[in-house]
Structure 1
């Protein structure tokens, strides 16, 4: 009698990469993935989880996916939106440009603030 492990079961039931609800899933950084999975319903998220368990088994990725699935089961709704939101085709983040009104005030590097020979006071 042969016993199958959970990993073997996931490999047999995991969807193909082309069947995933997120385009280019394998190339998404974790931060972008966390944003993009918010659009998925529980069924879509379960497909992605099954695929990840069968192929990558990346703990940070599974953590993000499983936490979102728990949120959905607790009553959260998919946020909708563009499945490509959050990153440009080259993998960089999209967003608005800094303007003088939104830019941070310049400050000296922290190492110079701590090593100043001038007494504070």
Structure 2
């Protein structure tokens, strides 16, 4: 089986976080295709747990949710790829004084000692 044959477009590149939501629209046969593919190719423990849990839900009477699988992943919407933070907005660097500096009270080196 190839990834192109799966009911989830671009399955191999879907973030795990969106996978849990996308499989909710699959029926038991479609979900079994995904389970078979995952076990043959990646066999990621966390993903297999998510898929098997959903299959258990379907076997216990859950119905697929309405929805489409041709939308782009939620994680990619509205991201330009560039950061809107400028270097001028960063905090000033911290330069602690050297060890034994007089700036700290009570640490005057050898001065003042008997």
Q: TM-score range by the shorter chain?
A: 0.5 to 0.7
- Closer, same or farther: CA 32–23 of 1 in aligned 2, 3 Å: same
> What corresponds to 2:62 in structure 1?
76
> What corresponds to 1:6 in structure 2?
none
> What corresponds to 2:105 in structure 1?
none
CA contact (8 A) 1:21 1:44 kept: yes
Distance 1:85 1:69 in 2: 23
CA contact (8 A) 1:36 1:85 kept: no
Aligned residue pairs total 78
Distance 1:44 1:83 in 2: 12
> What corresponds to 2:12 in structure 1?
26
- Closer, same or farther: CA 81–66 of 1 in aligned 2, 3 Å: same
| Structure 1 unaligned spans of 5+ | 1-14, 95-121
- Closer, same or farther: CA 58–17 of 1 in aligned 2, 3 Å: same
User: Could you tell me how far 1:54 is from its partner in structure 2?
Assistant: 0.2
| Structure 2 unaligned spans of 5+ | 79-114
User: Could you tell me how far 1:18 is from its partner in structure 2?
Assistant: 1.1
Distance 2:46 2:77 in 1: 19
The superposition leaves residues 44-79 of structure 1 with CA deviations (integer Å, 9 ceiling, x where unpaired) of 000000000000010111011000000000000000
Bigger radius of gyration, 1 or 2? 2
| Segments of 4+ moved more than 2 angstroms | 91-94
> What corresponds to 1:110 in structure 2?
none
